[in-house]
Chain A
């Protein structure tokens, strides 16, 4: 027959173990989504290298014959257009093309679509494509780099948007991969941090003053009571465990 005081001690010890193993169970049950991103680096069509020959920069004509993924075609188009004009305003021609063709396509995105890593990956690929071209064509480097940045920024903005909608995306492999690629291009998607993220950051940074101050200020009355109860229960459980094991060893040794 186990004495009552040991029954209480055992119960409190079990409570202590349950509370402390909660986080371990949560971590153990966490599922990672590690599917592979398809490699679909699409280069521009070789036949379109010559670019558009329309000096009025007809949007439909440009999109049909050059497309937005064709740096060489763009350079040739600008050269052709400049050749038709008396005043060689390179900036003006590029501004016209960027504002009328690239900006409507790249300054926004369809937020009604689901998170599709391949779609964002393709944007980053095109960013790299234009960035690479900017190192070759030094005369047009500034404009090509601008378009590259537009691709990267669109990708980063999409990552921001989807992560903002679903904070769990932070732990998704696709998201992490795309984010890293944006980071390499010096375009960092701004990340919304959940309260738990901030709590963990502060804990890992061992900034205990800030941790206690913010936790106390941010938590509601109920949460304060809950934290207090957990601390008390853990403490009692630990004391009971020490008492119980002490008594057990005393009895058996």
Chain B
């Protein structure tokens, strides 16, 4: 009798838990929101805890081989997904100067979309090589280091010197084999060090960063830091790093890379309870998803 009551209790608790889980759009314990004020300006921070691999990343780098646009691909893919946020990714350009149709735009620097090679030419000005695995993990390497380590399909680690042609081909082959998504962006901080030159471009604009680090509990945490006011790259990066060091007290800051806020300034953040878009300027972009050339998506699974 006692065992039946205990079993019933467990069953009911499990049912209650699962009901609670399905009622919420995603687990609020894994996604935190914060707003920070600096010099009378506010910026929004979305903190994503990746430890138990429930929060995942997906990157749409370019239109697919059949010509389907990024927005269409995202729309199809996101049909039954619990979205946390969607943001524009890296920079783009028009390969044909006489055709400014957004469908022809290509991402700047090396780009591989889900194993499909879009561009193998690296851009020397962009030091961050972001690798999004099909398992939903994102890793960033510093291209100035030349050598990068990637996990092989058999589980072993391979170190590749990207300035060597054969190693570079091996890297492309690896990306194809594991259906990885690769893109380049500006690297503003790496392993806790600010990488922005003091003489960097003084042009002011809205800024958005993707940061990653390890907190004192040893958890991998990633941040989308959205600065919806005009600031320079140097000042914006300092604001972001200060926040990670002082407010978050991270044990290690792995990287801080740039997300495009120019002509594809897209940021949609979804409410943890009802899944609706949060209408707060600190968590919003200026453009719609259909205007994006590439997208980075965080989702809950």
Contacts and interface: CB of A to CB of B under 8 A. Distances in A.
Interface stretch (B46-54, B89-97, B239-247): B89-97
B109 interface: yes
Interface string B74-111: 00000000000000000001111110101000101100
Contacts of A207: 263, 287, 291
Interface of A: 91, 94-95, 98-99, 102-103, 107, 142-143, 145-147, 149-150, 152-153, 156-157, 170-171, 176, 179-180, 183, 186-191, 193, 197, 200-202, 204-205, 207, 209-210, 213-214, 217-218
B95 A217 contact: no
B155 to A, nearest CB: 21
Contacts of A150: 165
Interface in B53-81: none
Contacts of B265: 210
A145 B176 CA distance: 14
A207 B102 CA distance: 12
21 contacts: A91-B166, A94-B166, A99-B164, A102-B165, A107-B165, A142-B173, A146-B168, A153-B120, A157-B121, A170-B97, A176-B98, A180-B95, A186-B119, A190-B121, A200-B100, A201-B94, A207-B287, A210-B263, A210-B265, A213-B230, A218-B203
B262 interface: yes
Nearest to B265: A210
Nearest to B230: A217
Given A213-B230, A217-B203, A156 B165 contact: no
Interface of B: 93-98, 100, 102, 106, 108-109, 117-121, 123, 164-166, 168-169, 173, 203-206, 230, 262-263, 265, 286-287, 291
B119 A188 contact: yes
Given A205-B263, A217-B203, A146 B120 contact: no
Contact of B100 (A99, A103, A157, A204): A204
B118 A186 contact: yes
A210 B166 contact: no
Contacts of B173: 142
B260 to A, nearest CB: 11
Contacts of B94: 201
A146 B164 CA distance: 10
Contacts of A146: 165-166, 168-169
Instruction: Pick the most buried of A94, A188, A217, A218: most chain B CB atoms within 10 A of its CB.
Output: A188
Contacts of B118: 186
Nearest to A94: B166
B286 A209 contact: yes
A149 B120 contact: yes
- List 4 A-B pairs, minimum CB-CB distance, nearest first: A146-B169, A188-B119, A204-B100, A170-B97
Given A205-B263, A217-B205, A188 B121 contact: yes
Contacts of B98: 176
A24 to B, nearest CB: 18
Contacts of B169: 142, 145-146, 149
Contacts of B120: 149, 152-153, 186-187
Contacts of B119: 186-188
Nearest to B119: A188
A171 B97 contact: yes
Nearest to B112: A186
Contacts of B168: 146, 149
Contact of A187 (B96, B121, B206): B121
Given A150-B165, A204-B100, A186 B230 contact: no
Contacts of B204: 217
A193 B125 CA distance: 14
B301 to A, nearest CB: 31
A65 to B, nearest CB: 22
Contacts of A183: 95
Contact of A188 (B106, B206, B263): B106
Contacts of A204: 100
A1 B140 CA distance: 77
Contacts of B95: 179-180, 183, 188, 191
A180 B205 contact: no
Contacts of B102: 205
Instruction: Pick the most buried of B94, B95, B96, B204: most chain A CB atoms within 10 A of its CB.
Output: B95
Nearest to B118: A186
B180 to A, nearest CB: 16
Given A146-B166, A176-B98, 12 more contacts: A94-B166, A98-B166, A99-B164, A157-B121, A171-B97, A190-B93, A191-B93, A197-B97, A201-B263, A214-B203, A217-B204, A218-B203
